[in-house]
Each structure stands twice: as structure tokens, then as C-alpha cells.
């Protein structure tokens, strides 16, 4: 793999590599990237892998090769903005003792930190409201006109990146940066990533979804609230908050609340839904939309008259961007865009209310990626343990627009036939059958008794996960852990530290989770992980394939589900010493014609329908 990567980098070619778990693929692309003499960007799917590369793999290489010029970058929201911190010190808008204590802790840390990365403050909660008021997101950035520009953590991060041979980022930062550069065209200061001769994407199976979210537009009631809050805080600190601006800000708040409150809602009140009836909404509620646009216009006019305040142009640009986004979301007619709504709980309690997100997502990103990524960078390398379907790369190449690329499959050196057993219980009902859940619980209980816990139970739906967890809670003698009761990292640490534990999880535990050894000896999956067909983006993509004369089921749903299933099963065997049983409760893998595609795409596990074989396998432990 290292030779193929080096050849692709030298000859400025694109390459796609499926490298099975345990092949050492991070070293296989890191070494060639360091040897090229040109700058490479390495983008990972998760911060976990990013941290592994920077804090484990790079020091290992440095122990052999001497000092290397490598840096590590996260999105701007991970870094502190000194300008905001100082402005808030003079003009505090903190709610309650908890926020005041968090602010003090951050202010104390700012005096000694070299990076400004929030990960350094262990005591700061993930959902800290204070951090959201102090982070370095670009919408409030003053750029070179900021009095703290030279001491800015983002400026320092850029300097380091410009001096590095390898820059380690994650997909979210890479595509956020690419989207900013696309909008800003030739603006020299746009984005944070430096020019590079090559990009290497690890966990590249996530590319389509991440790129879609950043090439789309999202606008929420939160963004309006934040604009009004920042405007009042910053201008009050400079004694520049006139009565006109104060009333314009208040009006914007009121009108945005009325507009977002009037948007349609799904039957459950939460979740995602199509917003294809925008014309109908505008006919009945158009006055709320026009009133909101007018209040944004008014805000721009008021800010135009503010003199001698360096924040004013940035606030005006934010107001203009929001107005343009709102206009696009409500009026644009783009065949390659799906318009949809999402309502999310604003906090843990029902009283916290809901936030509403207006979304526009490209249906097909292949053309965009072809132009902005594959034509822009001399060499792009995609790698992951799960990129092929039935041994071929056709699905992923088509979805991301990678036309001209070399291909390589590097099989894992794990002995899957000896290390893993795939159990497909006989006589399971179809998942759409009313008796499926009861039968699934019986099978899960039986397998967990044989494995003595030590398992992940992975579900395609949160509701099914909760139901199975609650019904097994009183029946099993093992510690049961449930996703959502604690942060993912804390649950994994507890799982590793607790003998015979069983962890119940949904999508976020299907990938990017690494538990080696006996603690994880069984992975149970309830259903084939087909994307929810009512999801607005999935729906739009299926319709587009159908309109083009294709089969959405075989061209999109099945290959996507194959890759997700490979990810889920991939949690089990993480080293040559690992042994374990995989269980799939969905009988469609054996009964339906498309089941063969799934079986042909999985590693060569030993397959059985006999529970005795499972019992014997665990008896060999």
C-alpha cells in the first residue's frame, strides 16, 4: 500500500485503496506523504483517528526518523477567540454561577495555553454555553483588523500549517474550508488550510455525507439569536449601541421567533421532514417571511451608520449572509438541491424548547467533488477498511465523482475463518413482522448468556434499542450500558473497565470504535442497516436515480447498507488475538436475492445457523 501511495503522489495520480483492519494503513500513507517533499493534507473521519495519528503514529515515526514537520488542525469552533474573551470581561452577559465559573476557568487557562484548543480544559462540559460565546468561529472574526490578530490562536495555527509538510485535519474541517474557499473565490484570507499538492482521506466511506452537509446551506433560529446577542455585546462594549440598533436587534429576535415557529412540523414534533411545499407556506405565511427579510435589511442599514468600531463590518457581513441564505432557502429553485426541515430539542428538558433548522442539501455531490477536489488537487487518495461492494469500487467512485483513479484492495491479515463466527439464526421472522422484536429479544438473550455479556448490541433505530434494553434489563445478570446515558467516550471507558458488560448503541457506535481483547467478544446487529427511506436527503437521492432510469434500491440503498454493515461487524476483530461471534438477526440476508451482495462483501467469516456452534465457539475461549 505504501508503494502504491508513493507512486500516486510522485506521478500526481488519484488512488483508491481498501485496506482491511490491522493492515497498518496509517503508516502506509504517512511515510510516503512525509517523503514527497511536497505538502500533503491528511483528513480523517473522526477526531479520535486524528489524535491517534498526531499523538501516537507521528511520535513513533519521529523516534525512527528524527523531528518531522507535522501539525494538527481542528475546526475554528475548537479554539478560543481572545478578542471575544476580553470583550466579555468588560461586558459580561453570563447566566448564573455555572457560566461565571466556566468563564473564570477559561480566562485563567488563556494565560498559559499555547494552542487555545478547548480539549485542554477537561472540566469544561461538551455543551458549555459559555464556550459558544467565546469560540473562534469565522462569522464573528475581524481578520487582520483584530487588535489580537498577531496573538490569535487561528493565526498561529495557520503559521504552523504553512511551515508543515503534513497537516492532519478531519473531514468536517476540510470540507468546511473547501466550501468557504468556493464562496470567497479569490479572497486571500479565506479558509484556514494551506495550499497542498495532495490530500489523503482516511475513513473515506464518509466523504459523500460530510461533503453534502458543507456544500449545502443551513439556517436556524439559533443563528438569529447569536447574531442579535453578539451585536448587542460587542457594540455595548464600545458604547456604540444606539437606540436604533437596540430596537432593530429586538425586532429581529421577535420576527425570527415568529417565522421559525410558523414553519411546518412533523407528526412527532422532532426529526427531519421534506420542505417541498415552500410555495404553499409562502402563500399562507409569506408576510412573516417578508417581515423577517425587512428586519435584516433594517439591521444592515443601522450597521452601515456605525463608525469607528472594528466589529461593525463583520456584523454587517453576517447579517447580509443570513439574509442571502434565508432568501435561497425560501425561494431558490435548484434541481440538484433538496429543501428540508429539522427540529431538535434545544436542551435535555422538554421546557428547553426546540431549535428549528432550515436546510438545503445537494442531492448529488459527484460533480462538485469532481471539480473542487479531484480537478483541484494533483493527487487525491481515498482509503478505508470499507469501500468495496462485492469486491469493487464502483459505488463509492460514482457517489463522489472519482473518475480517473488507480485501485488497490489490501486484504486484512486476520484469519477471519478461525477468529470469527457469523451466526444467522434460523426461523427469524421478517423485520416488518409484528413478532420480530419478541423473537429478536429471545435470540439476543440466548447469545448473551453464551458469551457471558462482553458484547455490543447495535441497532438501526433508537426506539428499538431502548425497547430491547429495557426488556432485558431485569432478565440478564450482566451490566447493561445504554447510549445516551453518558458521553460516548465515557460509555466506552466504562465498557472496557467493566467485566461482562453489554453496550446498547445506534449509529455512532457502528464505526470509529476500537475495543480490543476479550471485553468485546460478540457483536449483535438487529437489522440490515438500510438508510431510513423517509429521510428527506435519502428520498431525494433515490428519486434522482429513478428519474435517471436507474434502480435506487440496487444502486444506492443496498451498497450504502453493505458499507455500514461492514463497519458494524468491523468492531469485533481488531487484532490477531481477538476472537468472537457476529450475529445478524435479519433473515433477509438469506431469503432475499440481494442478501448475496451482503454476504459476498463481508470478510470470509465462518457462517453457521446452529446455536450449538456458537456455544462450542465460546467454550474454546
Long-range contacts of 615-618 (CB under 8 A, 24+ apart): 615/450, 617/421, 617/579, 617/581, 618/450, 618/451, 618/452, 618/521, 618/581
Phi, psi of 169 (to 5 degrees): -130, -175
Report whether 228 contacts 55 (CB < 8 A). Answer: no
Q: Are residues 393 and 432 in the same domain?
A: no
DSSP state of 609: -
In angstroms, the CA 161 to CA 39 distance is 9
Confidence of residue 276 (pLDDT cuts 50, 70, 90): confident
pLDDT of 188 reads 53
Q: Are residues 331 and 437 in the same domain?
A: no
Pairing relation of β-strands 271-274 and 337-345?
A: antiparallel
Report whether 362 contacts 212 (CB < 8 A). Answer: yes
Lowest mean pLDDT among 83-92, 205-214, 480-489: 83-92
Report whether 480 contacts 491 (CB < 8 A). Answer: no
For residues 428-432, give the mean pLDDT: 95
Does any domain span residue 227?
yes
Q: What is the pTM of this model?
A: 0.91
Q: What is the 3-state secondary structure (H, E, C) of 188-241?
A: CCCCCCCCCCEEEEECHHHHHHHHHHHHCEEEEHHHHHHHHHHHHHHHHHCCCC
Q: Are residues 268 and 381 in the same domain?
A: no
Q: Are residues 465 and 531 in the same domain?
A: yes
Report whether 272 contacts 536 (CB < 8 A). Answer: yes
Q: Which residues pair with 382 in a beta bridge?
A: 16, 201
pLDDT of 91 reads 64
**36: Cβ contacts below 8 Å, ≥ 6 apart:** 6, 9, 10, 197, 198
pLDDT of 100 reads 85
Q: Are residues 534 and 549 in the same domain?
A: yes
Q: How far apart are the first and last CA of the chain?
A: 34
In angstroms, the CA 410 to CA 4 distance is 11
Higher pLDDT, 418 or 513: 418
Q: Is the torsion defined by CA of 286, 292, 296, 297 positive or negative?
A: positive
Does any domain span residue 569?
yes
In angstroms, the CA 326 to CA 285 distance is 15
Kindly report the CATH number assigned to the domain that includes residue 330: 1.20.140
Mean pLDDT (the chain, rounded): 91
DSSP state of 581: E
In 3D, which of 74, 369, 59, 22 has the Cα closest to residue 199? 369
pLDDT tens track for 377-409: 999 999 999 999 999 999 999 999 999 999 999
CA angle 442, 447, 449 (to 5 degrees): 95
Q: Are residues 223 and 339 in the same domain?
A: yes
Confidence of residue 80 (pLDDT cuts 50, 70, 90): very high
Q: Are residues 50 and 176 in the same domain?
A: yes
Could you tell me the CA-to-CA distances from 337 to 129, 179, 536 in Å, in that order?
A: 33, 16, 11
In angstroms, the CA 248 to CA 337 distance is 33
pLDDT tens track for 591-603: 999 999 999 999 9
pLDDT of 267 reads 67
- Helices 462-473 and 436-451 cross at an angle (nearest 10°) of 60
Is residue 352 scored above 60 in pLDDT? Answer: no
In angstroms, the CA 147 to CA 157 distance is 17
pLDDT tens track for 107-141: 999 999 999 999 898 888 877 888 988 999 877 78
Is residue 58 scored above 90 in pLDDT? Answer: yes
Is residue 488 scored above 90 in pLDDT? Answer: no
Confidence of residue 480 (pLDDT cuts 50, 70, 90): very high
Last residue of one domain, picked from the residues 379, 410, 441: 410
For residues 192-216, give the mean pLDDT: 95
pLDDT tens track for 165-191: 999 999 999 999 999 888 876 555 667
Is residue 293 scored above 90 in pLDDT? Answer: yes
Q: Are residues 103 and 221 in the same domain?
A: no
Q: Are residues 175 and 115 in the same domain?
A: no
How many other CB atoms sit within 10 Å of the CB of residue 587?
21
Is residue 84 scored above 60 in pLDDT? Answer: yes
Cα dihedral value 229, 233, 236, 241, nearest 10: -30
For residues 555-576, give the mean pLDDT: 95
Count Cα neighbours of 462 within 13 Å in the Cβ-side half-sphere: 5
Report whether 515 contacts 548 (CB < 8 A). Answer: no
Cα dihedral value 422, 428, 434, 437, nearest 10: -40
Does any domain span residue 238?
yes
For residues 40-58, give the mean pLDDT: 91
**220: Cβ contacts below 8 Å, ≥ 6 apart:** 260, 355, 356, 357, 358
Lowest mean pLDDT among 167-171, 484-488, 558-562: 484-488
Pairing relation of β-strands 455-458 and 502-505?
A: parallel
Q: What is the 3-state secondary structure (H, E, C) of 117-164?
A: EHHHCCCCCCCCHHHHHHECCHHHCCHHHCCCCCCCHHHHHHHHHHCC
CB burial class (10 A; 0-12, 13-18, 19+) of residue 473? Answer: exposed
Confidence of residue 348 (pLDDT cuts 50, 70, 90): very low
Q: Are residues 443 and 504 in the same domain?
A: yes
For residues 208-214, give the mean pLDDT: 95
Q: Are residues 481 and 520 in the same domain?
A: yes
Domain count, the chain: 4
Kindly report the CATH number assigned to the domain that includes residue 376: 3.40.50.300
In 3D, which of 461, 460, 514, 518 has the Cα closest to residue 492? 514
Does any domain span residue 67?
yes
For residues 273-292, give the mean pLDDT: 94
Does any domain span residue 152?
no
pLDDT of 350 reads 45
Is residue 512 scored above 90 in pLDDT? Answer: no
Report whether 358 contacts 218 (CB < 8 A). Answer: yes
Phi, psi of 20 (to 5 degrees): -55, 160
In angstroms, the CA 431 to CA 580 distance is 25
Q: Is the torsion defined by CA of 24, 412, 383, 532 positive or negative?
A: negative
pLDDT of 579 reads 95
pLDDT of 349 reads 42
Confidence of residue 93 (pLDDT cuts 50, 70, 90): low
In 3D, which of 557, 467, 572, 575 has the Cα closest to residue 511? 572
Confidence of residue 459 (pLDDT cuts 50, 70, 90): very high
pLDDT of 138 reads 78
Residue range of the domain that includes 388:
2-74+163-214+365-410
Does any domain span residue 146?
no
pLDDT of 235 reads 80
Does any domain span residue 13?
yes
Does any domain span residue 153?
no
Q: Are residues 610 and 461 in the same domain?
A: yes
Cα R_g (the chain), whole angstroms: 26
Amino acid at each position: 500500500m505504501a508503494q502504491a501511495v508513493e507512486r500516486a503522489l510522485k506521478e500526481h495520480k488519484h488512488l483508491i485503496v481498501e485496506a482491511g483492519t490491522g493492515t497498518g494503513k496509517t503508516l502506509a500513507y504517512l511515510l510516503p506523504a512525509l517523503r514527497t517533499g511536497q505538502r500533503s493534507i491528511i483528513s480523517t473521519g473522526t477526531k479520535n483517528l486524528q489524535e491517534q495519528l498526531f499523538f501516537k503514529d507521528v511520535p513513533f515515526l519521529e523516534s525512527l526518523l528524527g523531528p518531522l514537520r507535522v501539525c494538527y488542525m481542528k475546526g475554528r469552533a475548537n479554539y478560543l477567540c481572545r478578542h471575544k474573551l476580553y470583550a466579555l470581561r468588560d461586558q459580561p452577559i453570563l447566566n448564573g454561577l455555572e457560566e461565571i465559573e466556566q468563564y473564570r476557568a477559561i480566562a485563567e487557562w488563556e494565560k498559559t495555553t499555547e494552542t487555545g484548543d478547548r480539549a485542554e480544559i477537561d472540566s469544561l462540559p461538551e455543551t458549555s454555553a459559555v464556550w459558544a460565546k467565546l469560540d473562534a468561529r469565522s462569522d464573528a472574526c475581524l481578520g487582520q483588523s483584530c487588535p489580537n490578530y498577531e496573538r490569535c490562536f487561528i493565526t498561529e495555527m495557520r503559521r504552523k500549517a504553512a511551515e508543515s509538510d503534513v497537516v492532519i485535519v478531519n473531514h468536517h474541517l476540510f470540507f468546511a474550508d473547501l466550501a468557504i474557499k468556493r464562496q470567497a473565490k479569490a479572497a486571500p484570507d479565506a479558509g484556514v488550510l494551506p495550499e497542498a499538492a495532495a490530500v489523503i482521506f482516511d475513513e473515506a466511506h464518509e466523504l459523500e455525507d460530510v461533503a453534502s452537509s458543507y456544500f449545502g446551506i443551513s439556517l436556524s433560529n439559533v443563528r438569529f439569536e447569536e447574531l442579535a446577542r453578539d451585536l448587542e455585546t460587542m457594540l455595548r462594549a464600545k458604547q456604540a449601541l444606539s437606540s436604533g440598533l437596540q430596537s432593530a436587534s429586538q425586532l429581529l429576535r421577535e420576527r425570527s421567533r415568529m417565522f421559525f415557529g410558523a414553519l411546518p412540523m412533523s407528526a412527532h414534533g422532532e426529526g427531519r421532514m421534506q420542505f417541498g411545499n415552500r410555495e404553499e407556506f409562502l402563500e399562507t405565511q409569506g408576510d412573516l417571511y417578508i417581515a423577517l427579510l425587512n428586519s435584516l435589511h433594517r439591521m444592515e442599514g443601522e450597521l452601515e451608520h456605525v463608525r469607528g468600531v472594528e466589529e461593525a463590518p463583520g456584523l454587517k457581513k453576517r447579517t447580509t449572509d443570513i439574509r442571502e441564505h434565508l432568501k435561497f432557502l425560501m425561494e431558490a429553485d435548484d434541481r440538484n438541491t433538496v429543501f428540508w426541515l429539522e427540529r431538535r430539542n434545544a436542551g435535555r428538558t422538554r421546557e428547553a424548547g426546540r431549535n428549528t433548522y432550515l436546510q438545503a442539501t445537494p442531492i448529488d455531490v459527484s460533480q462538485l467533488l469532481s471539480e473542487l477536489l479531484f480537478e483541484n488537487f494533483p493527487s487525491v487518495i481515498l482509503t478505508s477498511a470499507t469501500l468495496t461492494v462485492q469486491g469493487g469500487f464502483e459505488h463509492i467512485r460514482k457517489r463522489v465523482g472519482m473518475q480517473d483513479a488507480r485501485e488497490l484492495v489490501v486484504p486484512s491479515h486476520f484469519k477471519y475463518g478461525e477468529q470469527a463466527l457469523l451466526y444467522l439464526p434460523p426461523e427469524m421472522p421478517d423485520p416488518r413482522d409484528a413478532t420480530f422484536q419478541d423473537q429478536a429479544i429471545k435470540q439476543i438473550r440466548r447469545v448473551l448468556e453464551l458469551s457471558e455479556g462482553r458484547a455490543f448490541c447495535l441497532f438501526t433505530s433508537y426506539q428499538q434499542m431502548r425497547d430491547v434494553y429495557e426488556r432485558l434489563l431485569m432478565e440478564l445478570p450482566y451490566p447493561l450500558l445504554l447510549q445516551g446515558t453518558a458521553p460516548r467516550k465515557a460509555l466506552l471507558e466504562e465498557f472496557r473497565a467493566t467485566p461482562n458488560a453489554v453496550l446498547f448503541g445506534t449509529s455512532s457506535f457502528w464505526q470509529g470504535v476500537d475495543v480490543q481483547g476479550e471485553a468485546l467478544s460478540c457483536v449483535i446487529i438487529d437489522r440490515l442497516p438500510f438508510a431510513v427511506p423517509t429521510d428527506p436527503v435519502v428520498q431525494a437521492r433515490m428519486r434522482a436515480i429513478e428519474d435517471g432510469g436507474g434502480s435506487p434500491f440496487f444502486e444506492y440503498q443496498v451498497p450504502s447498507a453493505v458499507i455500514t454493515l461492514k463497519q458494524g461487524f468491523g468492531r469485533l476483530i481488531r487484532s490477531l488475538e481477538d476472537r468472537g461471534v457476529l450475529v445478524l438477526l435479519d433473515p433477509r440476508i438469506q431469503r432475499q436475492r440481494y442478501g448475496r451482495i451482503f454476504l459476498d462483501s463481508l470478510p470470509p467469516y465462518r457462517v453457521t445457523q446452529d446455536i450449538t456452534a456458537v456455544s462450542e465457539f465460546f467454550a474454546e475461549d
